[in-house]
Amino acid sequence: MTFKKLVGMSAVLAMLFAAGCGAATASKSGKVVTEADLSYGERGTPPKVEYSKAAPGTAKRFQRSYENAPPLIPHSIEGLVPITLNNNACLGCHMPSVAKSMGATPMPPTHFKDFFFDTKKKLIKQKLYEDVIAYKARLTLMAKKEDIAPQRYNCVQCHVPQANAKPLVANTFKPEFRNPENKHRSTLNKNLMEGVK
Ligand code: HEC
Ligand code: HEC
């Protein structure tokens, strides 16, 4: 390929790229959403919002935001946070062994899988991972669903309560659930390798 042809091609690519970027910022109506539209910025402080006051057991579950999205917390979390090393109230109701009797959704099987397992196994072989005894003990507990994967301990990192805040820009995203059942429960564990193999 000649140098001239290459230059020509990159010019076409640059144009296509610019066209793509333009389309991403203009909404359906053709109105361009600016950075300022998306934040309070110069409009002052945001209005006060309220979180759900319903106690666990009295709240209505939300539909999932999309298939296998982390469910939103429908109940009040007052008094349940902060989650600390020695105190995680969420587990007291959401561990599979107790969830049913509490009327709560049990934590799914994905929360009992250590996705870094293979890495840790390699590190243990290379004598680079020190806490082998504690790790093995945890694996046994996880297999019995008596302990969760360490990455899942801080629930509110992924699960959040909802406030009655009015969105500044309307959200037109509409989730598509392949199975209507997925509107209220997760099947991620079954589909973990979807699109990977
Ligand atoms: C006293 C028991 C209890 C505690 C403690 C508790 N929950 Fe819940 N949780 C429930 C119940 C019961 C539901 C079902 C909705 C309802 O009735 O409030 C629920 C629903 C949820 C849901 C929605 C599940 C779904 O299927 O849509 C999430 C997410 C959740 N809780 C996360 C948490 C987190 C995170 C914590 C800790 C900060 C926590 N919960 C603490 C009882 C509890
Ligand atoms: C790293 C992010 C992350 C953390 C941390 C996390 N979750 Fe989840 N959770 C998810 C995602 C994503 C899903 C949906 C997909 C799945 O099943 O894994 C989910 C699903 C759930 C569900 C719904 C299960 C179902 O069958 O529909 C419950 C209940 C839940 N989590 C509770 C908890 C609790 C309690 C904690 C803390 C002990 C926690 N989660 C920590 C990401 C997280």
Residue 94: partners with Cβ closer than 8 Å, 6 or more residues away = 102, 104, 105, 106, 107, 155
pTM: 0.85
Model confidence at 12, pLDDT cuts 50, 70, 90, reads very low
Identify which of 53, 63, 73, 76 to mutate to test ligand 1's pocket (most ligand atoms within 8 A of the CB): 73
Calculate the CA 163 to chain-centre distance. Answer: 17
What is the C-alpha separation between 154 and 186, in angstroms, rounded? 19
Predicted pLDDT of residue 26: 61
153 CA → ligand 2 middle, Å: 10
Does the Cβ of 111 fall within 6 Å of ligand 1? no
CA of 141 to the centre of ligand 2 (A): 18
pLDDT in tens, 57-115: 999 999 999 999 999 999 999 999 999 999 999 999 999 999 999 999 999 999 999 99
Please work out whether the CB of residue 143 comes within 6 Å of at least one atom of ligand 2.
no
Residue pair 114/149 in contact by the 8 Å Cβ criterion: yes
Measure the CA–CA gap between 181 and 68, rounded to whole angstroms: 11
Q: Within a 10 A sphere around the Cβ of 145, how many other Cβ atoms?
A: 15
Nearest CA to ligand 2 atom 19: 70
Atom of ligand 1 nearest to the CA of 70: 29
DSSP assignment of 68-134 equals TPPPPB-S--TTT-S-BTTB-TTHHHHSHHHHHHHTPPPPPGGGG--TTHHHHHHHHHTT----HHH
Q: How far is CA 143 from CA 73, 98, 113, 146, in A?
A: 26, 17, 8, 8
Nearest CA to ligand 2 atom 9: 70
Q: At 144, phi and psi to the nearest 5? A: -90, 5
The DSSP letter of residue 9 is H
C-beta of 68 in contact with ligand 2 (< 6 A):
yes
- Among 159, 183, 190, residue to substitute to test ligand 2 (most atoms within 8 Å of Cβ): 159
pLDDT at 22: 41
Q: Is the pLDDT of residue 195 over 60?
A: yes
Cβ of residue 94 lying under 6 Å from some atom of ligand 1: yes
